[in-house]
Every structure is written in structure tokens, then in C-alpha cells.
Amino acid sequence: MTTASEETRVPPRYIQVEETLRALLDTGGYRPGDKLPPEPELAAQIGVSRATLREALRSFEQQGIISRRQGVGTFVNPRPLYIDSGLETLESIEMLLQSRQLTPILRQRQVRSERALPKAAQRLNLKEGAPLTVLASTYVVADSPVAYLLEVVPTGVVDESTAAAWDMSLLDGLLQHRAFFDLGYGVAHIAPVHGSEEICAALDVDAQTPLFFIEQTVFTGAGTPCFYSRNYYLPQIFDFHVIRKLRE
């Protein structure tokens, strides 16, 4: 049974100071690497004792939010990159990252023409050996690789020269030029996998690192497959979820 005193219990003072300090770091213009004011000045700014401030700073240091250097000062650490996203909307990696005020950068990109192997031919409902345009791309955010995309499209939909001219993923190009491409929906399969040597090198991870793998086929509004991708994401950065509703 909850008592009135428990309902109105006030959190410890240093917890309140943590919340105030966190808000200060978020809104006070501090960037990674910036030095915080000396403890007496910071304590006066927040309106707490130095002892309480030290306790809050100690907690922040344990969380990796700040670093304290003996005789030098207290510095703001870079924030770990974390992206939480649903999978209900068909969107490109550029759209996903930009919606979170992140700037995606193409660090490596290969565009080539290939003949359809059995799996790609099956996914795209083509004959084996049909001409394909293939893009292999590594995406980077804040100098850290976050995803590797292997995208395949029939040459009759997007040829090699067109894909090479797009400074974006194939899916982003198709979505941006929707007036010319009839995109309807995507069917995705999700699994944890280990990457190949090429993929691990692109993402700067070792062969034992599990990756978030999404294999997707995009269809036209009429249900014709027009695009196929095999995308690899770093699970320590991406957390995908699906919203499930009750059966009607």
C-alpha cells in the first residue's frame, strides 16, 4: 500500500542537481570538449553547495557524460550516438538520420552493373542473368560508420549512370523522384548476423560483432518488385522497434 509520504517523497538533492546540470549542458551551449566553469562558479550558478555539486559530477563522470582531469578541469564528453526508430514507415537512411538532426555522410560508395544471381532474380521476379544496377555504400555520422547498404535495382528502373549521379542511397533517390517511380510498400526481414570481411572492414568492426540485418524488397503500388536491399546496421547505435496493435 502506498502512503501519502511515499507519494510525495522528494528525490535526493544530488539527483535534483543532476537534472539541473543536465538541462544546463543541453541548453547552455556546451559542446563536446568544452570545459565547465570551476566548481565554486558552477555551484553558485546552479544554487547548490560544492559538496552536492561534486556528488552530481561524480555520477556524471560514472555515466561518461563528463571527464575530470586532475589539475586541469572538467570537460564535456562526446555523446554516444543512439538512434531509436520504428520500422512501420518506408524511409531511406538519409531520412531516418536527418529526422534526428544528424548529418549522414557517404564515406565509401561503389556503383556497378551486374547480372542477376538466383536470389536477386527471385526477389525482383526477374530471369537469372537480367541486368542490375548495384550500389554498395557505407554511411558515417560524426566520423563513425553506422551502416552498410547493398542496394539492387533492375537496370531498366535505374541504370548505372543515373545511380552514380545520385549522391544518395538508391531508396532515397527513388523516394525523391517518386513522380517517376511508382513505389507502394516494402517487405522487410530482420535478423542478427555477422558481416563478411568487406562489410566488417567498412563498419570498422571485427568478424564476431553482431550486426542488425534488414533485407527488404520494395514493391510498386500494383505489387511488382522494383528494388531489393541488404542493409547492415550497428546495434549499439540503432534500436529498431515495431508498434503492434490488437487484432480487430
pLDDT tens for the chain, 248 residues: list them: 545 444 445 567 777 888 888 888 877 778 888 999 999 999 998 888 998 888 888 888 887 788 988 889 999 887 778 888 999 999 999 999 999 889 999 988 999 999 999 999 999 999 999 999 999 999 999 889 999 999 999 999 999 999 999 999 999 999 998 878 889 999 999 999 999 999 999 999 999 999 999 999 999 999 999 999 999 999 989 999 898 889 87
The segment(s) of the chain belonging to CATH 3.40.1410.10 are 83-241
CATH class of 4-76: mainly alpha
Which grid cell sits at 35?
A: 570545459
The segment(s) of the chain belonging to CATH 1.10.10.10 are 4-76
Q: What is the sign, positive or negative, of the torsion defined by CA atoms of 59, 63, 68, 73?
A: negative
Q: What superfamily does domain 83-241 belong to in CATH? A: Chorismate lyase-like (3.40.1410.10)
CA distances from 95 to 26, 99, 171, 228 (A): 24, 6, 10, 18
